[in-house]
Amino acid sequence: METMNSPERWSLVIAAGQTVIRMYHALDRSDYSRASRCFTPDGIWERGGNALHGQQQILASLNQRSATLFTRHCVTNFLLVEHSGSVAKAEFGLTVYRSDKGAPPMLPADRAVAAMLADVECELACNDGGDWLIRRLDPRITFAS
């Protein structure tokens, strides 16, 4: 039986956390194809009040984003709350910085202010290749500007 501090548990926490961070990293770099592949083929993303079902619907929604939108998503307090076999549940905080001035951003961006803070519930599943993918991503906005 795994203990809370077992190497297997820490390995799972790292793998699950990396999947989430990889998805937001791709999203912030407008690599929407890579972001959508961080989800299971039937994954669900509760986004903007709509449930996006599957990689194709997620990709189609992301492709509608403004070409000049500049974002940075910061994941904090990642916590694995449940694990059973090839399924895991995690919770984390998400801070989103957003700017869209109608032109490609000039870095550093001026006066960065968080556009949103959210508490996120995330379910992940391990595929046959041993990769953890997001099965459900459900951000609950706690603060919005």
Tens-place pLDDT, residues 58-80: 999 999 999 999 999 999 999 99
Rounded Cα–Cα distance for residues 120 and 118 (Å): 6
Domain 7-103+110-144 sits in CATH 3.10.450.50: yes
Q: CA 8, CA 89: separation in Å to the nearest integer?
A: 16
Which residue type, as a one-letter code, is found at position 62?
L
The domain segmentation of the chain, as residue ranges, is: 7-103+110-144
Give the model confidence (pLDDT) of 104-140 as tens digits.
888 887 777 789 999 999 999 999 999 999 999 999 9
Q: What is 20-63 written as a DSSP string?
A: HHHHHHHHHTT-HHHHHTTEEEEEEEEETTEEEEHHHHHHHHHT
Residues 137/53, Cβ–Cβ less than 8 Å: no
- Of 99 and 34, more confident: 34
pLDDT digits (tens, 9 = 90+) for 46-56: 998 899 999 99
